[in-house]
Amino acid sequence: MKNLNDRSIVYLAIFTAVIVGGAAPVFAKIALKETSPALFTFLRACLSTLVVLPFLIKYRIKLDKNLIKTILVTLFLTANFLIFAYGVRLTTASISQIIYVISPVVIAGLSYLILNERVNSKKVLGIILGFIGAGVIVILPVLNSNPFSGNLIGNLLIMLAVLTFSLYSVLSKKLHINFSPIQIVIVLSFTTLFAMAPLTLYEVLTSGTKIFNISRLALFSIFYVGAIMTVAYYTLHQYAIKHGSPLAASTIVYLQPVATFVWAAVLLGEGLTPGVIVGGTIAFLGTYFIINASSKKEIIDIEQKL
């Protein structure tokens, strides 16, 4: 009975993580209707920093060369936040999430190039399918004028965001020797905050961006992405890995785009085109082969980075 209850809780954690994570691109797009990508990223960093601030008392971080390395690596994720904001503002929330499905594919490819990790035939097939699927989605705006096909520049920016996210994921692997996950999140939050502060200040002073002229819906959207995603999503994700299995947690990768589509359809009126469905299906297959061909340890590494 206890195992059944534990399993039910794991499934509930996965389901909740899918719902919470799936809404993030939608609320980001809502907020970006009233804020610039730079201001959105800065405010997001402010909220995430407030969330992790209490942990700074317990998890003290020494100022040394390891911290400097960590700051440099987390700058890739800071760039990811900003690039994603520019991309999702131009394309659809649904497409942005579908393109992110290939993150494990890109991580596998970069791990081979940077860390010399072994790549078997299934992983090679997964990498090929993943990039074909993403490529189909990215070029759809050139072939089809349907607004639900997204925007070419926006789609390319989302691909660039996936690349910076994947680079961070691969390079951050060695950071865990000296820092715990929560310490890395603390460094990330402060790095993003300080990196975005001068850019945001310059934008406010030169372009007349109004920080205090934002609707309640946009403010809630920023709060959702900056605070709720930081606490709820990643806590549920790690719970699913620890108390379930990496394979069970990997279902989040497949189900989250579905949740995003539902959120986007309800709140933004978005839809999917046949081309997006075809490209997304190919990308899903690529990710499936990557995860299916990975060892248990490799799956844990992949899942902890997503």
Q: Is residue 117 predicted with pLDDT exceeding 50?
A: yes
**Around Cβ 304, how many Cβ atoms within 10 Å?**
18
Q: Is residue 165 predicted with pLDDT exceeding 90?
A: no
Instruction: Please give the pLDDT value at position 298.
Output: 53
How many structural domains are present in the chain?
1
Instruction: Please indicate whether residue 242 or residue 227 has the higher confidence score (pLDDT).
Output: 227
CA distance linking residue 95 with residue 88, whole number of Å: 9
Q: What is the pTM of this model?
A: 0.82
Instruction: Please give the pLDDT value at position 243.
Output: 61
Average pLDDT taken over every residue of the chain: 80
Instruction: Please give the pLDDT value at position 3.
Output: 53
| Distant-in-sequence, close-in-space partners of 108: CB < 8 Å, separation ≥ 6 | 117, 119, 123, 126, 127, 290, 294
Domain range for 172 is: 2-305
Longest dimension (CA), the chain: 63
- Read off the pLDDT of residues 243-253 as tens digits, 9 standing for 90 and up: 655 555 556 77
**Around Cβ 190, how many Cβ atoms within 10 Å?**
19
Residue 163 backbone dihedrals phi, psi, to 5 degrees:
-65, -45
Q: Is residue 110 predicted with pLDDT exceeding 80?
A: yes
Q: Where do we find the tokens 């406010």? A: 204
Confidence of residue 88 (pLDDT cuts 50, 70, 90): very high
Residue 89 backbone dihedrals phi, psi, to 5 degrees:
-65, -30
The candidate with the shortest Cα–Cα distance to 152, out of 205, 202, 87, is 87
Instruction: Please give the pLDDT value at position 161.
Output: 94
Average pLDDT over residues 117-122: 76
Q: Is residue 295 predicted with pLDDT exceeding 70?
A: no
Q: Are 135 and 293 in contact (CB under 8 A)?
A: no
Confidence of residue 2 (pLDDT cuts 50, 70, 90): very low
Instruction: Please indicate whether residue 121 or residue 143 has the higher confidence score (pLDDT).
Output: 121
Tokens representing 202 are 């310059």
